[in-house]
Amino acid sequence: MGDLEFWFIARITGLTAFAVLSLSVLSGEALRTSVLDFLAKNRAIRKLHDFTTPLWLPLALTHVIALLLDKTARITPLDVFWPFLTDYGQLAIGLGTISFDIILVVTVTSWIRRYMNNTLWTWIHRTSYIGFVALFFHAALSGTDFDAPLVSALAWSTAAGLAILGLSRIVWGRLPA
């Protein structure tokens, strides 16, 4: 396989990871509001949340491994964990690293939740909003396909959906868990 194939793989897996994480954040936020009640019961949304959350890992790992193998991208293993070190697109790619780090911590702490203090766990879990915003701008600033009308429409609709859910949570409060 050559650089071109690795680049295609990086783009496909990056976009799929974005889609999966969008669903994960939307379902997670919906769990705490009553806005999607007409669509599904909390239990079904919880299942969707639990199912979509770990899916991002193999996709994002393939995304970064493909970029490590694509010599044109000039990404080093350190760039995957430490932001802003690349010799081009520091902000665009650094935001990808920040989102990777945050979402990794959120995912791992979800697995060990029972051993953690609940307040600490909740605050760590809430950083996923920051991770998602970083991811959105990472994709918007560095992506090749992200400018395509269909991808762009889906991504902006997701952002709008999150904003509406967030607003409804502030206005109507939260459902009992």
- Binder to ligand HEM among 45, 103, 106, 165 (CB under 6 A)? 103
Which segment (26-34, 46-54, 97-105, 158-166) binds ligand HEM by CB under 6 A?
Answer: 97-105
- Using the contact rule CB under 6 A, the part of the chain among 15-23, 34-42, 105-113, 122-130 near ligand HEM is 15-23
| 107 CB-near residues (< 8 Å, 6+ apart) | 53, 54, 56, 57
Burial class (CB in 10 A: 0-12, 13-18, 19+), 40: middle
| Residue 36 or 73 having the CB closest to ligand HEM | 73
Residue whose Cβ sits closest to ligand HEM: 143
State the Cα angle at 103 between 101 and 109, rounded to 5°: 100
Q: What does each C-alpha distance from 12 to 56, 113, 146, 153 come to in angstroms? A: 13, 31, 11, 17
Where along the sequence are the contacts to ligand HEM (CB under 6 A)?
Answer: 10-11, 14-15, 17-18, 21, 60, 63-64, 67, 73, 75, 79-80, 93, 96-97, 99-100, 103, 135, 138-139, 142-146
